[in-house]
Amino acid sequence: MVSKESTLEFLPQKNLLGFIKKLMELGELYAPKAEGPITDLRIIHDPIDVLVDFEQTRQGIRAIAEPQNEILLTYDAKEGFPAKETLPATRRRIVLWCRPCDARALTFLDDNFYDSPYSDPYYARRRENLVLIGLGCSHPFPYCFCGSVGGDPFSRENLDMLMTQVIGGYLLETITGKGREISDRVKELLRAPTADQVTEAENIQRNAAAKLRRQAPDVSGLSGKMSSLFESPIWRKWGEKCIGCGICTYLCPTCWCFDITDIETKGKGYRIRSWDSCQFPLFTLHTSGHNPRPDKASRLRQRVMHKFCYHPSNYPGHIACVGCGRCTELCPMDIDLLAILGELSEAGGKDA
Amino acid sequence: MTSTRLAELQRAIRESIEAGTLRGALCWEQGSNAFRSRPLVIRTVADASAAIFSPACSPSLVRFLIEDNRYPMSPEEDRRPLGIVLRGCDDRGVIELIKEHQKRREELMIFGVDCRGTVDWTKVRKLLRKGMLSSDDLDHGTLAWKEDDIVLFTADGKERVLDRKSVLLDKCLICEGHTPRIFDVMIGEEDKNRKGMPVIDDIESLERKSTEERWEFWQSEFSRCIRCYACRNICTYCSCEECAIDPRTQAISDKSLARDKANRPQWIGQDSMLPSNTFYLLTRAYHGAGRCTTCEECDRTCPMGLSLRLLNRKVRKDVKRLFEYEAGRSTDDGPLYGESREEDPGDFIW
């Protein structure tokens, strides 16, 4: 399970607070924090705000890597409109205890914003300064299905460090150079792990995937067949249960659509990039009044198709879903992505 | 609901579909686990067998009457009534929609059902976390009512009564009546002891706070909003085709000309920063004055856990105090904004 380049250390529970304090010195720290009745990844100003035993964070890392509201430039009319670019600061941002699925999601944001001919300087700067310290999922959440979309509750993808909760503390696996920079600075808080601790962590890691309650059908087989299902009655059936809100797309860790608007008050203005959603009618409305996606069925189809058909056809092998389950669990009408995929799979099988 | 009651509901819907008197009927089907359900549009006799009615039926179906106006569920020439299954708390929303001419009473065929409370998924999540419910219960359990008890039939054939407080939506704990006041067919017995609108006093502690404290509380709530518009899209009073406070859908209708869309002012930014969120959420709350029936679907739906019901309960309380009007109470009065009386207070205007 543990790759050769990575190193293993043990962080005793009693050193956790010191570890968090140290991370706050090393950069801007984001960690699971109580926000009213929910838990979310937020900036930590006080180490005791970090939740040790926490629910799935409501949003993934997207909100940190590509914030919902990003001011791209500012201007002042009095100064003759010289626009000032407002690139994010280059300081290190550390995300403590993101989940492996949310870290995997960055692969698909990178496809679009970073590893692409149109690398986005705002995203790139945030991305390059991001250090991800994951916490493996010993106990996956009820709607998780990472195991059947190419992930794992202990996936290392995009993580700089991975923690596994064991008796008395955490086994800390340092995966990348960025992670090494952190672990070198917290050395005094770490111990050499015992053989028992390593075995315990390996067992936890090996058994986690079996605890996933839900599984997607064979998605890589499905993505090739999906374009033939464009006119399937499945879309209408599920579309009419939809209320057209943006929950599924705004909480999706791999969604990235945005819109750009200018706002000006008393001669001072800014250009802002804010998230947009394919579930909103205006998203595709033409100036002529024609809307190529005029109803909820076509908009729901777009969301599913983009993840499982269009994205993998643009980036082979990249199915843009990490199996976090948020879209289904938080859907007000219980529109179940896996049930839709199951029906598509069945319909696609019949046609073949 | 006992299995005989469910069979009765399915039979009633099936018979109407078979007789061709309905163009469709709105009910629930089992959702992604034992504690969840989703809307089901019944068009054929076969569809009716998937219908359920159980404590898992938390979503209100009333919103789909507005959805039907916007995205018709059947061809426009089909003028037959639409069937809808209504619980005791749902009739308020339908009454307001009728008063606002969103639907005519005769366009609806209402199947009244006896509801003894439905599940709050966030509470179920807490029980799962504490180990008081298991994955097996989600996958293989079945929920039912036995009088006022919420019963879970577990995979191993056992019956377990769940504590109402720890599993039901808060609104169900102050239920005003199990069956709707307006219906065409009643499945089971009509609740003759409807208590009238529930008295809600949980806003009093907020009212006692200073203006600064309240402002701080609401700013902290509003700052979490991600502007997914779920609260508006689930709402039974948000029937506007184009929403003036949502820059993303203000051009929803293909009836508006490109020129209109281009020249329409954006009253509010589409960002989710605090000033825009405050504007959005407060304007929506005021727009709901005398129209919000406190069905609390916005509260159930909000993914960021905003206390939207406090806002709506406060507005409702003020409307009742000032105008003695309660949305959804009766078909004989209102709507609030459609009536003017000499004794209406006016001092707050100046």
| Residue with more model confidence, B338 or A73 | A73
| SS3 annotation, chain A | CCCCCCEEEEEEHHHHHHHHHHHHHHCEEEEEEEECCEEEEEECCCHHHECCCCCCCCCCCHHHHCCCEEEEEEEEHHHCCCCEECCCCCCCEEEEEECHHHHHHHHHHHHHHCCCCCCCHHHHHHHHCEEEEEECCCCCCCCCCHHHCCCCCCCCCCCCEEEEEECCEEEEEECCHHHHHHHHHCHHHCECCCHHHHHHHHHHHHHHHHHCCCCCCCHHHHHHHHHHHCCCHHHHHHHCCCCCCCHHHHCCCCCCCEEEEEEEECCEEEEEEEECCCCCHHHHCCCCCCCCCCCHHHHHHHHHHHHHHHHHHHCCCCCCCCCCCHHHHCCCCCCCHHHHHHHHHHHHHHHC
Mean pLDDT, to the nearest integer, of A204-220?
A: 94
pLDDT band at A79 (very low <50, low <70, confident <90, very high): confident
Of B234, B252, B258, the CB nearest to A282: B252
On whether both B169 and B68 belong to a single domain, the answer is yes
Which of B304, B308, B309, B310 is most worth mutating to test chain A (most A CB atoms within 10 A of its CB)? B304
Which residue does chain A place closest to B56, by CA atoms?
A: A334
On whether both B183 and B235 belong to a single domain, the answer is no
Q: Does B37 touch chain A (CB under 8 A)?
A: yes
CA dihedral A140, A153, A213, A228 (to 10 degrees): 130
CB contacts, 8 Å: A58 with chain B:
303-304
Which residues numbered 193-232 in A keep a CB inside 8 Å of some CB on B? 213
Predicted pLDDT at B293: 92
Mean pLDDT score of chain A, rounded to an integer?
A: 93
pLDDT band at A3 (very low <50, low <70, confident <90, very high): low
Q: Does A117 touch chain B (CB under 8 A)?
A: no
CA distances A5 to A187, A197, A206, B239, B349, Å, are 18, 19, 20, 59, 72
> Domains in chain A, ordered, with CATH?
2-65+88-211 (3.40.640), 222-259+277-346 (no CATH)
Which residue does chain A place closest to B140, by CA atoms?
A: A213
Predicted pLDDT at A6: 80
pLDDT band at A352 (very low <50, low <70, confident <90, very high): very low
Asked, for residue B192, whether it belongs to a domain, the answer is no
Asked, for residue B196, whether it belongs to a domain, the answer is no
Predicted pLDDT at B289: 93
The neighbouring-strand residues paired with B153 are B142, B159
Question: CA angle, corner A42, sides to A36 and A46, nearest 5?
Answer: 90
Asked, for residue B29, whether it belongs to a domain, the answer is yes
Whole-angstrom Cα Rg for chain A: 22
CB contacts, 8 Å: A332 with chain B:
59, 230, 234, 297, 300-301
Asked, for residue B126, whether it belongs to a domain, the answer is yes
Between chains, do A142 and B138 touch, taking CB under 8 Å as contact? yes
Between chains, do B270 and A277 touch, taking CB under 8 Å as contact? no
CB contacts, 8 Å: B224 with chain A:
35-36, 38
Interface A-B, measured as beta-carbon pairs within 8 A, has a size of 141
Q: Does A22 touch chain B (CB under 8 A)?
A: no
User: Burial code of A200-221, b = ≥16 C-beta within 10 A, e = fewer?
Assistant: bbeebbeebbeebbbebbebee
On whether both B225 and B284 belong to a single domain, the answer is yes
CB contacts, 8 Å: A335 with chain B:
38
Confirm whether pTM is higher than 0.90.
yes
On whether both B122 and B225 belong to a single domain, the answer is no
Using DSSP's 3-state secondary structure scheme, residue B37 falls into: strand
Measured from the Cβ of residue A251, the count of other Cβ atoms closer than 10 Å reads 23
On whether both B239 and B339 belong to a single domain, the answer is yes
Predicted pLDDT at A267: 85
Q: Which domain holds residue B107?
A: 3-187
Residues of chain B where predicted confidence (pLDDT) is lower than 50: none
Asked, for residue B26, whether it belongs to a domain, the answer is yes
On whether both B15 and B129 belong to a single domain, the answer is yes
Using DSSP's 3-state secondary structure scheme, residue B331 falls into: coil
Q: Give the C-alpha separation, B305 to B294, whole Å.
A: 16
On whether both B215 and B260 belong to a single domain, the answer is yes
Predicted pLDDT at B258: 66
A308 contacts A226 by C-beta, under 8 angstroms: yes
The reply to whether omega before B335 is within 30° of 0 (cis) is yes
Of A245, A281, A296, the CB nearest to B228: A245
On whether both B177 and B216 belong to a single domain, the answer is no
Q: Does A139 touch chain B (CB under 8 A)?
A: no
Q: Give the single-character DSSP code of B73.
A: S
Which of B68, B71, B59, B75 is CA-nearest to residue B104? Answer: B68
- Looking at the complex, report in whole angstroms how far the Cα of residue B343 sits from the nearest Cα belonging to chain A: 40
Q: Which two tokens stand for residue A48?
A: 């005791």
On whether both B181 and B330 belong to a single domain, the answer is no
Which residue does chain B place closest to A41, by CA atoms?
A: B224
Using DSSP's 3-state secondary structure scheme, residue B42 falls into: strand
On whether both B213 and B156 belong to a single domain, the answer is no
CB contacts, 8 Å: A38 with chain B:
224, 303-305
- Looking at the complex, report in whole angstroms how far the Cα of residue B297 sits from the nearest Cα belonging to chain A: 9
Query: In total, how many domains does chain B have?
Result: 2
CB contacts, 8 Å: B232 with chain A:
245
In chain A, % of residues over pLDDT 90: 84
Using DSSP's 3-state secondary structure scheme, residue B85 falls into: strand
Q: Give the C-alpha separation, A273 to B254, whole Å.
A: 26
Which residues numbered 228-257 in A keep a CB inside 8 Å of some CB on B? 240-241, 243-247, 250-251
Q: What is the pLDDT of residues A57-72, one digit of tens each?
A: 999 999 999 999 999 9
Strands (E) in B114-193, as ranges, are: 142-146, 149-153, 159-162, 185-186
Q: Give the C-alpha separation, A107 to A311, whole Å.
A: 12
Which of A41, A23, A39 is CA-nearest to residue A31? Answer: A41
Boundary (domain end) residue, out of B162, B187, B212: B187
Asked, for residue B195, whether it belongs to a domain, the answer is no
Which of B121, B170, B267, B271 is most worth mutating to test chain A (most A CB atoms within 10 A of its CB)? B271
Q: Which residue has the tokens 């990844």?
A: A41
Mean pLDDT, to the nearest integer, of A316-326?
A: 96
Asked, for residue B15, whether it belongs to a domain, the answer is yes
Whole-angstrom Cα Rg for chain B: 21
On whether both B69 and B151 belong to a single domain, the answer is yes
On whether both B42 and B182 belong to a single domain, the answer is yes
Predicted pLDDT at A4: 54
Q: Does A143 touch chain B (CB under 8 A)?
A: yes
Residue A194 has pLDDT above 70, yes or no: yes
Asked, for residue B127, whether it belongs to a domain, the answer is yes
Between chains, do B303 and A328 touch, taking CB under 8 Å as contact? no
